[in-house]
Every structure is written in structure tokens, then in C-alpha cells.
Amino acid sequence: MTFTLSREELTATFKINGEYVQITEQTCQKIQIRVMECYNEWHGLHRFTGEVETQVVTGSSWREVTKAKARQRWAEMINQGWQPA
């Protein structure tokens, strides 16, 4: 049995595994990076071009806790504004 919470770009999945619950948290974040170019390779000099690139950075973490701690974590996340998906 699996339960999922979400908030903005975050997702938390609670998967029951016997007496324990596996909690997997996934993030997805968009970041903007200023583009640089090398204009003098001999001295390694760089300059910013004025362009901006957008990249998506994802991450994932998991842990396994007892059912009581998972219920406590679920309640904390609901209080923080997480919504069932």
C-alpha cells in the first residue's frame, strides 16, 4: 500500500513494508545559470555572455521508519501544507 503527498515541486511517498514504512522524498528544482565563454585560452580568461540557461535539478532520498514515526511525519507534513496526491 502506497500513499503520496505533494507540495509545489516536492513529492513524498509512504510505502508500507511490514512493520516499517519506507518514505521516499523527491525534489525537482529549476535553476538559472549565467553562460560564460573563454576569450583567452592561454590565460584562461572568461567573460559572461549575458545569456541565461535554465536547468532542472532533481534529487531523491529515502529512509525506513516505524509505523508510529511515519504517522508522526505524515501529520507534520500535512501541518506544513502538503496535500495528498
Residue 55 lies in a domain: yes
Total domains in the fold of the chain: 1
Distance (Å, whole) CA 41 – CA 56: 29
Distance (Å, whole) CA 36 – CA 64: 43
Residue 19 lies in a domain: yes
Residue 75 lies in a domain: yes
Residue pLDDT, tens place only, 34-83: 999 988 889 889 998 889 999 999 999 999 999 999 999 999 999 999 99
| Confidence band, pLDDT 50/70/90 cuts, at residue 9 | confident
Residue 36 lies in a domain: yes
Residue 10 lies in a domain: yes
Residue 85 lies in a domain: no
Domain interval for residue 10: 2-80
pTM: 0.71
Of the candidates 22, 25, 2, which has an alpha carbon nearest to the alpha carbon of residue 77?
Answer: 25
Residue 39 lies in a domain: yes
Residue 54 lies in a domain: yes
Q: What is the pLDDT of residue 41?
A: 86
User: How would DSSP label each residue in 16-48?
Assistant: EETTEEEEEEEEEEEEEEEEEEEEETTTTEEEE
Residue 67: phi and psi, rounded to 5, are -60, -40
